[in-house]
Amino acid sequence: MGIIVVLSMFASFTVVAATGLTGDTESIPLQSIIDQAEAGDVIELEPGLYTGPVVISKPLTLIGDAGVTMNNEQDQAAISIQAKDVKLKGFTIEHHGRQPAAAVEITGSNHEITELMIRTKGAGLLLRDAASAVVRNNTIEWAGPSTASSSQKGNGIDLYNSDHSRIEGNKIQGVLDGIYLENSRNAAVHDNRFIQTRYGIHCMYINGSSVTNNIGEGNMTGAMIMGVKNTVVSGNAFRKQSTNVHSQGILLYDVHQSKIHSNTVEGNRVGMNIAESSNNEIYDNGLIRNFVGIQMVLAEDNAFTQNRFISNVIDASAMDSQNNVMKQNYWDSFQGLDLNQDGISELSYAINPFYEQLISRNAAYQLFFQSPGMVFLSELHSEGKSQWTTDESPQMSIQKTSVVGSGTPGNEGETSSRWVWIIGLLLLGLSTSTMIYMGVWRK
């Protein structure tokens, strides 16, 4: 059993310390400590093991450090917040409750959840009708078996009908979706990191929000943006989403009047997949070393400008996508002609839909991609060329002002070319030395 000791009194709240009675191995029921506190109290937990589940139904601040662990074995929330103005900070939650139970379930407004370490066998943070929440600098990890199916896992941070939320600086690993937002307006999702999730960020029916400067690696999809309007997706880096046949860096599905710019999508199966989306501005993105750089299906009236396509197997593919404006993008596989030396090619670059149409009829044809026969057939295909998506004014080189993700401005192509030259020279030197040595040795 714990006791509460009053340390000091302030004008609007009391600061208290929660301590155990005896022994390092005794667990302390946290609910009794919360029940004894007054509205507005700050509870500072002494190092030790505390047990849940608990319900917080009044404004409180609950603070701990790395030595404070709360353990919950029940199939319900470890901490259920049913009030406003609640703050949790700094301690560890070991949540063994199964999906759909979450480590922390939140309703009400003006909450701050910061610097928690959450290990969960269900969900991480669940916010429902929770306006103006701040979720910052938390670590959320899947604690269940590595063989668990998707239905057994919950999301890391899950918001529904929770407007004006700020989700910043969190690290999320191994759960279902890193951050899931549905029917939430004016959300800000910044500077988070996602590793080995299904979707790093999953947005459904949000408006007026921003997804910026996040990093995703090894997920099935970096960012799944669906049913969205008036949203900014900027400065993110999604790499190595390639383990699944449906893997992609960024998926835009049913997205309208939004800006997608200055992102890096690298080493994915599909860098950016744009489907049934219109009136978006897509610019200054780096699409690097993907199997397909950009894939468009039923995408209309979008503007693609000053993007960089570097070392992709297929730069772009487009099916049934009309009236898109594409100009001043850099395509490293395109051989242009710049007669007036203005950095813009006088020759246009048309995206050949042959390969996309072929694999849509039979996916097995992917095995023959870039074989001599496939390349020959692709070059012969010119049916409906006037309707192909075309960059009318491709860039001849990468603009120096471009900034993508956390990389150095505009240096992707230069860096890649520099390494190619260095490796080539080293191989040439090695082969020359070997030839000379073998010639001398034989003599």
Contact of 158 with 126, CB cutoff 8 Å: yes
Write out the two tokens for 146: 């590595």
The predicted pLDDT at position 242 comes to: 76
List pLDDT tens digits, range 274-320. 999 999 999 999 999 998 899 999 999 999 999 999 998 888 888 78
Contact of 106 with 85, CB cutoff 8 Å: no
Smallest Cα–Cα separation from 321: which of 387, 373, 383?
387
The predicted pLDDT at position 89 comes to: 98
Run of H or E residues at 32: helix 30-36
Residues 406, 412: Cα–Cα separation, whole Å: 12
Smallest Cα–Cα separation from 80: which of 106, 101, 59?
106
Contact of 114 with 134, CB cutoff 8 Å: yes
Task: Report the CATH number that the domain containing residue 353 is assigned in CATH.
Answer: 2.160.20
How many domains in the chain?
Answer: 1
Residue 416 lies in a domain: no
**Residue 282 amino acid letter:** I
The predicted pLDDT at position 361 comes to: 62
Kindly give the parts of the chain with pLDDT less than 70.
1-25, 352-388, 400-443
The predicted pLDDT at position 153 comes to: 94
Q: Is the peptide bond before 100 cis (omega within 30 degrees of 0)?
A: yes
**Residue 51 amino acid letter:** T
Residue 35 lies in a domain: no
Residue 278 lies in a domain: yes
Run of H or E residues at 376: helix 372-380
Residue 274 lies in a domain: yes
The predicted pLDDT at position 386 comes to: 60
Residue 343 lies in a domain: yes
Residues 220, 169: Cα–Cα separation, whole Å: 21
CA 329 vs CA 139, 343, 348, 377, 402: distances in Å: 38, 11, 11, 26, 11
For every residue of 292-348, DSSP letters joined together read EEEEEES-BS-EEES-EEES-SEEEEEES--S-EEES-EETT-----SS-SSB-SS-
Residue 56 lies in a domain: no
Smallest Cα–Cα separation from 164: which of 215, 210, 115?
210
Residues 77, 59: Cα–Cα separation, whole Å: 18
Neighbours of 109 (CB within 10 A): 17
Write out the two tokens for 20: 């155990």
Smallest Cα–Cα separation from 249: which of 282, 273, 231?
273
Residues 170, 34: Cα–Cα separation, whole Å: 27
Task: Tell me which residue range forms the domain holding 144.
Answer: 74-87+98-372+384-391
Write out the two tokens for 33: 């400590």
Place of tokens 């239905």: 151
Residue 412 lies in a domain: no
Residue 434 lies in a domain: no
Residues 400, 84: Cα–Cα separation, whole Å: 49
Place of tokens 């668990």: 148
List pLDDT tens digits, range 55-97. 999 999 999 999 999 999 999 999 999 999 999 999 999 999 9
Q: In 3-state terms, what secondary structure has residue 51?
A: strand
Q: Is the peptide bond before 409 cis (omega within 30 degrees of 0)?
A: no
For every residue of 124-176, DSSP letters joined together read EEEEES-TT-EEES-EEEE-S-TT--GGG---SEEEES--S-EEES-EEESSS
Q: In 3-state terms, what secondary structure has residue 193?
A: strand
